Amino acid sequence: MTMSAQLPPGLQLEKVDERIMTLNVGPQHPGSGHMRIIVQIDGDYIVACDPDPGYVHRGEEKMAEYRNYITNIPHLERPVIHDSCNILYPYVLGAEELLGIEVPERAKYVRVIAAELNRCVYTLYWLAIYGIFLGHSTMFMWPSGDRELFIDLLEKLTGARVTHAYFIPGGVRNDMPANFEDVCLRQVRYFEKRIAEYSDIFYDNPILISRTANTGVLSRNDAIRLGTTGSVLRASGVDYDVRKKEPYDVYDSLDFETNVLKSGDSYARSKVPWLDMMESCRIIRDALSKMPKSGSVRTKLKPNPKGGDTSVYKRVESGRGALGCHIVSRKKPEPYRVKLSVGSFRNLIAMPYLLKGEKLGNMPSVYWSLNYWPVEADR
């Protein structure tokens, strides 16, 4: 009897190949986030890769079963604190349908504006980390600084820099402050000029192109087959954006386009969120002009509202892709089940296929281009 046979399953000794070395990147590594990537390398080339998420699982879905529809809000936005409006969006839309609440027209516009501002905050943070992953420290500083423009706007609007707890079933918590529209337009216009400068230093930079072009290529068919969403899917040439395909709130009345790139490599995946930010600015300007100038922003809720004996599924486009929320109600003030279907986890599935055959040095850029946020995927 060999030693391996005596060990319990899961602890079996692996057969060691002399050529192949196994590397654990993470779970505490600046290049991995809160996850472990087990890579097997042959020299400088990755032979196999096994992403191992789950280190920051906090049981958000289980927690939601013990809290009512309102007190669920502060903890459900914790998975992505810098995209907290977008992660709350499907939950709030679903809760409204379950509880039968009408949302005032002005609140829908305010929600769209807050969600787009938040998308920019997320994307700039993501871009800053993408820059530092590639050793481009200017690209770390610029988005981190410009992110402050949007954080300042959201602070004025919601009262908190991150974790706004702003959306609520029935609208938003508070109306826009006085002259918010002017400040918002001024800062968004400045940002649009500023973001154009990113192309010179980053996206048109030959060093960046040589490092990211043709690495981690995800073909159109594979992108669909693996079920990726968001910027990863659009970078592979599939025109799919939940805001266009299944418009929620007032997105169908707003003027914007989706950005689709064909090449499907890391470069395209890093460029699509940047182009999306320009569209976000367009949406914000359009929503500010089309918004009703006065009116209520919140429908008053009854204390401890109860849903019917039914379930609801809502989807929105978050910074990382389609974000779904399935709420099951059983005539109680607490939801029976809340399931979040997040874009991060869907995009992670593509990672082993993309990294196979890549150089180890390209691992951070391919990994981060997947728009993956470990905390959101683990929930």
User: Among residues 241 and 334, whose Cβ is nearest to another protein?
Assistant: 334
User: Among residues 24 and 137, whose Cβ is nearest to another protein?
Assistant: 137
- Considering only 297, 312, 316, 348, the residue that binds another protein (CB under 8 A) is 297
We find the least distance from the C-beta atom of residue 171 to another protein, in angstroms, to be 8
Given its phi and psi angles, is residue 283 left (phi above 0), alpha (psi -120 to 50 degrees) or beta? alpha
| C-alpha dist (Å) from residue 4 to 11, 16, 17, 38 | 8, 13, 16, 22
We find the least distance from the C-beta atom of residue 111 to another protein, in angstroms, to be 14
- Buried-exposed string 14-31: b where 16+ CB fall within 10 A, e elsewhere: eeeeeeeeeeebbbeeee
Asked if residue 186 binds another protein (CB under 8 A), the reply is yes
Asked if residue 14 binds another protein (CB under 8 A), the reply is no
Asked if residue 311 binds another protein (CB under 8 A), the reply is no
User: Which residues, 73 to 92, sit near another protein by CB under 8 A?
Assistant: 73-75
**Sheet strand arrangement including 311-318:** 311-318, 321-328, 337-341
User: Among residues 48 and 63, whose Cβ is nearest to another protein?
Assistant: 63
Contact 248, 110 (CB under 8 A): no
Extract the tokens encoding 42.
Answer: 């042959």
> Which residue, among 79, 87, 49, has the nearest Cα to 166 in the 3D structure?
87
Asked if residue 58 binds another protein (CB under 8 A), the reply is no
Stretch near another protein under the rule CB under 8 A, chosen from 29-37, 68-76, 356-364, 371-379: 68-76
Extract the tokens encoding 79.
Answer: 């998975």
- Considering only 22, 40, 205, 341, the residue that binds another protein (CB under 8 A) is 205
Listed as own residue / partner, the contacts of 328-331 with beta carbons closer than 8 Å and 24 or more positions apart are 329/98, 331/306, 331/307
Residue type, 19: R
Asked if residue 68 binds another protein (CB under 8 A), the reply is yes
Extract the tokens encoding 348.
Answer: 């992670």
Contact 16, 351 (CB under 8 A): no
Stretch near another protein under the rule CB under 8 A, chosen from 46-54, 113-121, 167-175, 341-349: 167-175
Asked if residue 177 binds another protein (CB under 8 A), the reply is yes
Which strand (E) or helix (H) includes residue 178? Answer: none
Stretch near another protein under the rule CB under 8 A, chosen from 27-35, 39-47, 71-79, 268-276: 71-79
- Considering only 72, 215, 229, 231, the residue that binds another protein (CB under 8 A) is 72
- Considering only 34, 243, 285, 298, the residue that binds another protein (CB under 8 A) is 298
Q: Which residues of this protein are in contact with another protein, per CB under 8 A? A: 66-68, 70-75, 138, 145-146, 148-149, 152, 155-160, 163, 165, 173-178, 180, 186-187, 190, 194, 197, 200-202, 204-207, 296-301
